[in-house]
């Protein structure tokens, strides 16, 4: 494909070289040298939504960066009716430890829709990377000519045994499995590798904003800025514990005055979101704003203006929103679970909490002590620069792909 001048000047289409001020010339040179060895390769990613969750967020940036570095990297999205996504959301929940009744009907819907997607997707690639449980059984329908990797993003620390026993039959067919953390490893045949996600600092969600741009976005949604903002940005999902956030905020408000903003979106592969959003609406009040909207600039503005960002998840494979807020120098309070425990160093680059009461205590502490918030925020930003930018993620993938090369 020839790149037109318009595409080449698109500010979102950053190259590895654009990261040099952030990661240094040595890293850029090393990554480009590794990428050059994979120039003839054709890689494809398969997932189940174009937007609305961390996987889509990662793929939209990573695939562009890989292509800019000369590795031909595609992205396919499987299609399905709401009943398919209702089943796969239950599987997703079960992989994070929830209950599931894996009836024959659910298995039939799941396997049939994946089969239909296999019929219309033809893979002639050097590597196929399949993300999460939705497209997992695709592998059953091809004569495999290249390695297939299953990349599971969910918190697999304690999967429902029935769900895992069923899905493991598909997982066993893969050549490798990539998980976010060693503690998610499972007793399976394929080799397991561990790669933590990362963020793109140049996207609408993460790029620098002026104070006027932030004001403008907040004003657009009528978000009051007279008091400090306490913010959580998340899909409306039970594992993100939005009710716990509201409870913690109410407790904290006995000691400090602030406004809570819960903003979330509903991904096309997450049919529970709408219901959870509706169930939260009764909690709305003057100082508790709950918005369901897909606006990356609003996410950016909120994460920047917040006095403190919460991510009070009770399961979290890796919380992109945590890293996004830390990148903006904003102090973050995260649930002591899954990937968040590796993203936040407790008391140094944010706080980790286990209960609503602890979350409330930390909100009060940060709001009463802006210097503490600044220190946590600065340490948080530096830790993201060192560990969680997209170039590091790309290098991890290049190393993994390189290992498959003869």
For the window 337-376, what string marks contact with ligand UDP as x by the rule CB under 6 A?
----------------------------------------
Pick between residue 353 and residue 364 the one whose CB is nearest to ligand UDP.
353
Which residue's Cβ has the minimum distance to ligand UDP?
54
Q: Is 326 in the site for ligand UDP (CB under 6 A)?
A: no
Asked if 310 contacts 248 with a C-beta cutoff of 8 angstroms, the reply is yes
- Which segment (2-10, 213-221, 231-239, 358-366) binds ligand UDP by CB under 6 A? 231-239
For the window 37-76, what string marks contact with ligand UDP as x by the rule CB under 6 A?
----------------xx--x-------------------
Least Å distance, CB 86 to ligand UDP, is 17
Distances from the Cα of 165 to the Cα of 84, 107, 110, 114, 330, angstroms:
20, 13, 15, 19, 41
What does 260-309 look like in DSSP terms, one character per residue? EEEEE---TT-TTHHHHHHHHGGG-BTTEEEEE---HHHHHHHHHH-SEE
Least Å distance, CB 342 to ligand UDP, is 13
Least Å distance, CB 41 to ligand UDP, is 27
- Which segment (28-36, 72-80, 314-322, 361-369) binds ligand UDP by CB under 6 A? 314-322
Which residues lie across from 350 on neighbouring strands? Answer: 346
Pick between residue 15 and residue 296 the one whose CB is nearest to ligand UDP.
296
Which conformational region is residue 65 in: left (phi greater than 0), alpha (psi within -120 to 50 degrees), or beta? alpha
Q: Is 263 in the site for ligand UDP (CB under 6 A)?
A: yes
180: nearest Cα among 69, 95, 294, 65: 95
Q: Residue 346 has what DSSP assignment?
A: B
- Which segment (20-28, 228-236, 245-253, 358-366) binds ligand UDP by CB under 6 A? 228-236
Least Å distance, CB 172 to ligand UDP, is 25
363: Cα within 13 Å, side-chain hemisphere? 33
Position among 319, 334, 335, 377 found at the interface with ligand UDP (CB under 6 A): 319
How many Å apart are CA 130 and CA 27, to the nearest integer? 28
Least Å distance, CB 146 to ligand UDP, is 27
Distances from the Cα of 161 to the Cα of 97, 101, 155, 368, angstroms:
8, 12, 14, 45
Element (H, E) at 251: helix 242-252
Distances from the Cα of 204 to the Cα of 21, 213, 254, 301, 324, angstroms:
19, 12, 35, 10, 11
Position among 296, 314, 355, 358 found at the interface with ligand UDP (CB under 6 A): 296
Pick between residue 234 and residue 365 the one whose CB is nearest to ligand UDP.
234
Residues 198-217, interacting with ligand UDP (CB under 6 A): 205
Pick between residue 240 and residue 253 the one whose CB is nearest to ligand UDP.
240
How many Å apart are CA 342 and CA 336, to the nearest integer? 9
- Which segment (108-116, 165-173, 219-227, 233-241) binds ligand UDP by CB under 6 A? 233-241
- Which segment (162-170, 271-279, 318-326, 349-357) binds ligand UDP by CB under 6 A? 318-326
Give the interface size with ligand UDP as a residue count (CB under 6 A). Answer: 17
97: nearest Cα among 272, 238, 234, 236: 238
Query: 10 Å Cβ neighbour count for 132?
Result: 23
Q: Is 321 in the site for ligand UDP (CB under 6 A)?
A: yes
Secondary structure in 3-state letters for 189-247: CCCEEECCCCECCCCCCCCCCCHHHHHHHHHHCCCCCCCCEEEEECCCCHHHCHHHHHH
Least Å distance, CB 323 to ligand UDP, is 8
How many Å apart are CA 113 and CA 92, to the nearest integer? 16
Q: Is 233 in the site for ligand UDP (CB under 6 A)?
A: yes
Position among 241, 247, 324, 361 found at the interface with ligand UDP (CB under 6 A): 324
Least Å distance, CB 305 to ligand UDP, is 15
Position among 93, 134, 265, 268 found at the interface with ligand UDP (CB under 6 A): 265
Query: 10 Å Cβ neighbour count for 79?
Result: 13
- Judged by the rule CB under 6 A, the positions of this chain that interact with ligand UDP are 53-54, 57, 205, 233-235, 263-265, 294, 296, 299, 319-321, 324
């Amino acid at each position: 494909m020839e790149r037109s001048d318009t595409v080449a000047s698109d500010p979102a289409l950053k190259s590895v070289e654009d990261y040099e001020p952030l990661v240094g010339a040595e890293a850029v040179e090393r990554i480009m040298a590794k990428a050059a060895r994979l120039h003839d390769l054709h890689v494809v990613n398969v997932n189940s939504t174009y937007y609305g969750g961390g996987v889509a967020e990662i793929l939209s940036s990573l695939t562009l960066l890989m292509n800019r570095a000369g590795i031909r990297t595609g992205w396919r999205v499987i299609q399905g009716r709401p009943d398919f996504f209702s089943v796969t959301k239950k599987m997703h929940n079960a992989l994070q430890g929830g209950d599931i009744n894996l009836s024959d009907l659910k298995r039939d819907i799941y396997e049939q829709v994946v089969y239909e997607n296999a019929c219309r997707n033809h893979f002639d690639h050097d590597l196929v990377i399949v993300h999460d449980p939705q497209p997992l059984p695709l592998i059953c329908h091809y004569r495999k000519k290249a390695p297939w990797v299953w990349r599971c993003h969910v918190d697999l620390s304690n999967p429902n045994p029935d769900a895992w026993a069923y899905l493991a039959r598909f997982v066993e067919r893969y050549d490798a499995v990539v998980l976010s953390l060693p503690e998610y490893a499972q007793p399976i045949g394929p080799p397991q590798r561990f790669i933590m996600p990362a963020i793109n600092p140049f996207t609408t969600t993460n790029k620098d904003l002026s104070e006027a741009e932030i004001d403008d976005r907040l004003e657009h949604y009528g978000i009051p800025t007279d008091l400090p903002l306490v913010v959580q940005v998340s899909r409306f999902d039970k594992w993100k514990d939005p009710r716990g956030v509201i409870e913690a905020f109410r407790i904290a408000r006995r000691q400090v005055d602030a406004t809570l903003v819960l903003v979330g979106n509903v991904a096309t592969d997450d049919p529970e979101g709408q219901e959870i959003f509706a169930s939260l609406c009764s909690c709305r009040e003057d100082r508790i704003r709950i918005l369901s909207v897909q606006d990356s600039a609003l996410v950016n503005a909120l994460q920047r203006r917040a006095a403190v960002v919460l991510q009070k998840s009770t399961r979290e494979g890796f919380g992109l929103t945590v890293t996004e807020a830390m990148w903006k120098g904003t102090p973050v309070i995260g649930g002591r679970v899954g990937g968040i425990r590796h993203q936040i160093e407790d008391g140094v680059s944010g706080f980790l909490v286990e209960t609503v009461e602890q979350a409330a205590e930390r909100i009060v502490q940060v709001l009463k002590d802006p210097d503490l918030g600044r220190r946590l925020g600065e340490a948080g930003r530096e830790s993201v620069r060192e560990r969680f930018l997209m170039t590091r993620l790309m290098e991890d993938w290049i190393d993994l792909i390189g290992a498959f090369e003869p």
